[in-house]
Every structure is written in structure tokens, then in C-alpha cells.
Amino acid sequence: MTLLEKHVGKSHIQVDTKVRLYQTYVLPVLVYGLEALSITKALVQLLDAFDTWSLQKILRIPYTRHVTSASVRETTGCPPVSSIIKTRSLCFLGHVARSDSR
């Protein structure tokens, strides 16, 4: 995220393009392998906080503005990371349930 912020976050690229780059490069790395782990509430809060912080950096919102997570999500149209992990976990469990038990 730091490299993305350094090169893309401060450029004059449109916000929707920045959000798509974030969803393409940062989110897959963030959620890689999490569908197989047991996710605690503390981990979910940390992941959602990082996601919101990253989107605020993309939107150039300073932390002193005290913007809510819901307004950031409404502006970008991105779902929370916790919901992405939940749907991927359910898909993974569906694959496991349908697999051969050898």
C-alpha cells in the first residue's frame, strides 16, 4: 500500500481508477489464504481498519477530518474486507463439503 500511495495516491488519476488499482493489487494480497483460517473479531477489526485507512489515503482524506467508514465506503463503492472474507470462506467451505472424503 505504501508504494501504491507513493506513486498513485498523490497523482492526478481519477478516484475510480485508484480504487480499481487498490482492488486489483492490494486486496488480493490482504485476503490471500484467510478463507482457510479462523477469523477472530479482533482480526476483522484490524483488516477493516486497514481497508478504511487505505481508502482514505486514496481519497486524500486527512485523519483530522474524522470521516466515518460508512461514508468512505459510500464514496468508493467498496464493500468491507470482512464481507469479502466471509463470502470467500463460505465458498471455500462449499468446496470442502463437496469434495471426496478419502
| Per-residue pLDDT, 49 | 92
| Per-residue pLDDT, 71 | 92
pTM summary value = 0.77
| Per-residue pLDDT, 5 | 67
Which residue in this structure is represented by grid cell 500511495? 5
Long-range CB contacts (within 8 A, 24+) of 87-95: 88/31, 88/34, 88/35, 89/34, 89/35, 89/39, 91/35, 92/35, 92/36
Q: At what angle do helices 69-76 and 41-58 cross, to 10 degrees?
A: 60
Contact 72, 55 (CB under 8 A): yes
Spell out, as residue ranges, where the chain has pLDDT lower than 50: none
